[in-house]
């Protein structure tokens, strides 16, 4: 079991490493060449800046029981399909039961944007409460993954 992070725009990298150390779970952070990332704990995987290169590299390394941190619903859906766990940086665990609707909403939003329309979205600045919510959810998903890996 390992933790794989879509790290290009991930605001919780430090929390991920902090929690991963507690459980002794290895972390792999995926970034493209336009980002510089250093870590004493995580292995940094740098891929090309091609569209979706980080997503595909992360997906290719995903195995059943791994934990994926991403804000991309498509990456989360593919990870779930492999039997991995997936969590959003806001602390929401992606589940099989809801992922289809999330993908449909993303598709509709893209069509609206392509036609020149606008969607209202949350642009609130990240708060310490957001970090606390992620930390609690991430602990929970790590415990679940560890418990299921022992079966």
pLDDT in tens, 52-91: 999 999 999 999 999 999 988 889 988 999 999 999 999 9
Contact (CB, 8 A) for 91 and 134: yes
Structure confidence at residue 9 (pLDDT): 86
- pLDDT of residue 123 exceeding 90, the answer is no
Q: Any idea what the CATH number is for the domain that residue 98 is in? A: 3.40.50
The model carries a pTM of 0.84
- Show the tokens assigned to 93: 């665990």
Q: Looking at the domain assignment, is residue 32 inside a domain?
A: yes
- Mean pLDDT for all residues in the chain: 87
Strand partners, 45: 30
Q: Looking at the domain assignment, is residue 128 inside a domain?
A: yes
> Per residue in 31-59, pLDDT tens?
999 888 999 999 999 999 998 999 999 99
Structure confidence at residue 132 (pLDDT): 96
Q: Looking at the domain assignment, is residue 86 inside a domain?
A: yes
Sheet holding 93-94, edge to edge: 43-47, 27-32, 3-6, 67-69, 85-87, 93-94
Q: Looking at the domain assignment, is residue 36 inside a domain?
A: yes
Number of folded domains in the chain?
1
Q: Looking at the domain assignment, is residue 119 inside a domain?
A: no
Angle (CA) 20 23 24, round 5°: 75
Q: Looking at the domain assignment, is residue 118 inside a domain?
A: no
């Amino acid at each position: 079991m390992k933790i794989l992070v879509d790290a290009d725009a991930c605001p919780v990298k430090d929390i991920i490493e902090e929690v991963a150390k507690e459980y002794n779970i290895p972390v792999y952070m995926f970034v493209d060449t336009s980002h510089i990332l250093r870590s004493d704990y995580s292995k940094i995987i740098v891929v090309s800046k091609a569209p979706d290169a980080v997503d595909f590299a992360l997906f290719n390394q995903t195995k059943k029981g791994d934990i994926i941190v991403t804000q991309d619903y498509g990456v989360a859906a593919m990870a779930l399909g492999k039997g991995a766990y997936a969590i959003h940086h806001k602390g929401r665990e992606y589940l099989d039961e809801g992922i289809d609707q999330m993908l449909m909403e993303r598709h509709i939003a893209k069509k609206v944007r392509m036609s020149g329309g606008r969607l209202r979205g949350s642009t609130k600045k990240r708060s310490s409460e957001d970090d606390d919510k992620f930390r609690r959810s991430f602990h929970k998903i790590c415990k679940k993954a560890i418990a299921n890996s022992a079966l």
